[in-house]
Amino acid sequence: MAKLIGKNKIYCAVFISGRGSNLKSIFRYSKKKNSKIILKLVVSNKLSAPGAKFAKKNKIITQIVNYENTIKAEKEILSLLKKNDIKLICLAGFLKILSKNFIKNFNGKIINIHPSLLPKYKGLNTHERVIKNKESYSGCTVHFVNKKLDSGKIILQQKVKLYKLDTPKKLEKRILKIENKIYPKAINQILSKI
């Protein structure tokens, strides 16, 4: 699948826009003995993202990309990925949609975590919509990224029960804890063949 570094490891990049909660769980996983990745690069579209500060503090190459011009931004990111021999991108709360051209030109795999049980509730405001529709369960999904929003092949999913007094904030908090657990498992799963 990819050029291996050391003992069956590949270079990985995490793309973020915010606090970097899933970035931290991927970072912890990368430090484990049986991990399949070396977390080499963090890309953020926001200078103020707390996740970017965490990455810098932990000596991970960190690039803040100006997204005023998407074509220019993606060109810059692709060149960065190539330079650092990145073979896996983990989108973790990255609030930009990657273009078809970017996906086609990246020579590796791209995965994403989404806070719903896909294919239900693609896109934004998932928790509000789940509660409004009086669902019994929600959850999160790690999936491959393809040209359609939140539509790639599912790698791993986990359910979370809804309660009568749930608010979008309460539900988000519970689901985020599960996201932090299943994202590293999903990475391990797709790379266990190398």
The catalytically annotated residue of 114, 117, 155, 183 is 114
86-91/10-16 β-pairing: parallel
137-144/154-161 β-pairing: antiparallel
A 10 A CB-CB count for 46 gives: 16
Q: Is 11 helix (H, G, I), strand (E, B) or coil?
A: strand
Give the span between the Cα atoms of 142 and 144, in whole angstroms: 7
Active site includes 114? yes
Buried/exposed 158-182: b ≥16 CB within 10 Å, e otherwise = eebebeeebeeeebbebbbebbbeb
**Where do we find the tokens 């009568």?**
164
A 10 A CB-CB count for 190 gives: 17
All residues at 6 or more sequence positions from 125 whose CB lies less than 8 Å from its CB, including other chains: none
Catalytic residues: 114
